[in-house]
Structure 1
């Protein structure tokens, strides 16, 4: 079976968020996919089955658990399939419903994802201490906690205590601020030690939460988000009611064949 490493949400190698993409020949046990993901050690490994007609089956695994939604590994999967000759609209059957992608001129890939609203809530016990930041707003979406702070510099400077953050009940924690003073509309970072990902370089699914949050704040549907991790990456978001378009580039780093 062929396997690839792709850097997502970047047009330069060794930036953005690396994901593994495994093209399955047939159905395989969940335990096997989890073992491959642990071996690959990327924040997510995507497993795709069926590329001819109809939606492909697509699943995502961190090194520790399966997740229900992953943007950068979906982008990586679409990039691989387009590079192998697929064209037009691709559909993927996932645990978050059918997700679709389309490739524009210049290699930009747009993905149709569900928007995930974050409802205001008090910070859970231990969250502020674990993050070491001062929230101006906190909320909870279906999967994650959203923590807005006062400036982009505060987002960059955050140094969470990962052991304490793993005790907070959420898939991950998104820290965000206005992009004032930067080239982006908003900036963010994503921490997921509870699911085996201390810091994710660029998180597509987090932008399903960030897009409606910042579109409401800024009064515009089309925004540019910058994830200011060490590797960094750019996610273009367009809010469309209960859906959000996430768009970005991707670069294949290597490909090979599994021998097990």
Structure 2
């Protein structure tokens, strides 16, 4: 068997930025173990697969080790492949996923806008050992949704973080987001997910379904500019319209197009 594969740098206008994702269009679904083995072989934070289903697309996401419920950058990458590489003419793409229907529309100036369900993080007590695992001395607050969200005051500390990934993997959450107010952006984040096989994700769109509502409330703004990443970074635009949704927008760039043989 052979399948077309695209590698897309999501949340970046040019290759070598943002977050890379593999995208594999399929006519019909393969066995789950084969989907997982391909994702492991790709060794990217996410491999996305989609199958056309009438006027919509069934979409699934795999890290190198597990299938996940929601992935923003691989959704953006999938929409980019459909719009820019496969000639899809619809103005709005509808994806059926484990997190419900997700919509991606063409925006201005090359932006793709993803309509995701919002999640409101809940303030929690500081989990024992979390600051030590992150290499932090203190935090302003800690919240929980799919991830722990650790808010800190010092942007310079965020840039210098060197977490203990083995220790972080012991926490029973998808990942840990550490976030601070930015200088050139409203807020800046780094996201660590060793429990799902991704030590650090350059740009995690799904994490912003929690981060954007949190920062929107803290800053009193509905439209937010955001940056995520350590050595490799990407940029996002988030809107929190107050209707239980978050609009996450970004650009994407093609890095690779080829064939998978298996």
Report how far residue 132 of structure 1 moved. Answer: 1.3
Structure 1: 5+ residue runs without aligned partners? none
**3-state SS of the aligned residue for 1:240?**
coil
Shift of 1:249: 0.2
Q: Which residue of 2 aligns with 1:25?
A: 27
Q: Partner of 1:205: helix, strand, or coil? A: coil
**Structure-1-length-normalised TM-score:** 0.96
1:137 maps to: 141
CA–CA distance in structure 2, aligned partners of residues 40 and 256 of structure 1: 12
Question: CA offset at residue 54 of structure 1?
Answer: 2.2
Query: Which has the larger displacement, 100-109 or 158-167?
Result: 100-109
Q: CA deviation at 1:6?
A: 0.1
Q: Which secondary structure state, in structure 1, belongs to the residue aligned with residue 163 of structure 2?
A: coil
CA contact (8 A) 1:75 1:111 kept: yes
Among 167, 170, 179, the residue aligned to 1:167: 170
Partner residue, 1:47:
49
Per the TM alignment, residue 105 of structure 1 is displaced from its structure 2 partner at its CA by 3.5
The offset of 1:45, in angstroms, is 0.4
Q: Distance in 1 between matches of 2:241 and 2:73?
A: 20
Match of 2:100 among 74, 97, 100: 97
Question: Residues 191 and 229 of structure 2 are in contact (CA less than 8 Å); yes or no, is this contact kept in structure 1?
Answer: no
How many angstroms apart in 2 are the aligned matches of 1:259 and 1:65?
21
Separation in 2, partners of 1:104, 1:214: 23
Q: Do 1:192 and 1:198's aligned partners in 2 also have CA atoms closer than 8 Å?
A: yes
Instruction: Give the Cα–Cα distance (whole angstroms) in 2 for the partners of residues 159 and 122 of structure 1.
Output: 23
What TM-score do the two structures reach when normalised by structure 2?
A: 0.96
> What does residue 82 of structure 2 align with?
81
Which structure 2 residue ranges, 5 or more long, are not aligned? none
Structure 1 match to 2:231: 230
- Matched with 1:37 is 39
The CA RMSD over aligned residues, in Å, is 1.0
- 1:63 corresponds to: 64
Deviation at 1:240, TM superposition (A): 2.1
8 Å contact kept, 1:202–1:229: no
1:50-69 residue CA offsets vs partner (Å, 9 max, x unmatched)? 17x32200000000101000
Asked if structure 2 preserves the Cα contact closer than 8 Å seen for 1:117 and 1:209, the reply is yes
Distance in 1, Cα, partners of 2:103 & 2:58: 12
1:116 CA drift (Å) = 1.2
Displacement of 1:254 in angstroms is: 0.7
